[in-house]
Amino acid sequence: MGVNNKRAKGTLVTGVIGEDTHSIGIKILDLTLSAAGFKVVPLGIQVSQEEFVDAVIETNADAVLVSSLNGHAPIACLGLRDKCVESGLTEILLYLGGMLLMRDKNWGEIEKMYKNMGFNRVYKPSVLPNQVIKDLKVDLKI
């Protein structure tokens, strides 16, 4: 993905975790982030936790943006923060968004569950890329 600015605002690893094959949302996010001046490292669909960690190490990324739309995020995301810490990535920002559960649940409970798993930001399926960009700028102090 091209970057509009001469110097990238930050390096972001993006992907759809687990066996999930939904790709449209993450592609839109990748394009929008790139247009906003971030260096995007898109891993695509069906990305394992290990692939996310390896990509962060390889690219010295500032944040990981995980997408999940099949409702299996509680299983696919469990332990991702631990894998990051075990690899020395104690400060990496973890963002998560999409259709995060197969059943209806109060959004506050959903957000709390994923924050307890170590995610810094958790987004509803209806979030727009501009909100993610705004949050990245705050979290990365840009």
Active site residues: 20, 22
d(CA 73, CA 123): 12
d(CA 142, CA 134): 10
Specify which residues 11 forms β-bridges with: 39
Tokens (6 digits) for 3: 């970057």
Cβ atoms of residues 34 and 65 within 8 Å: no
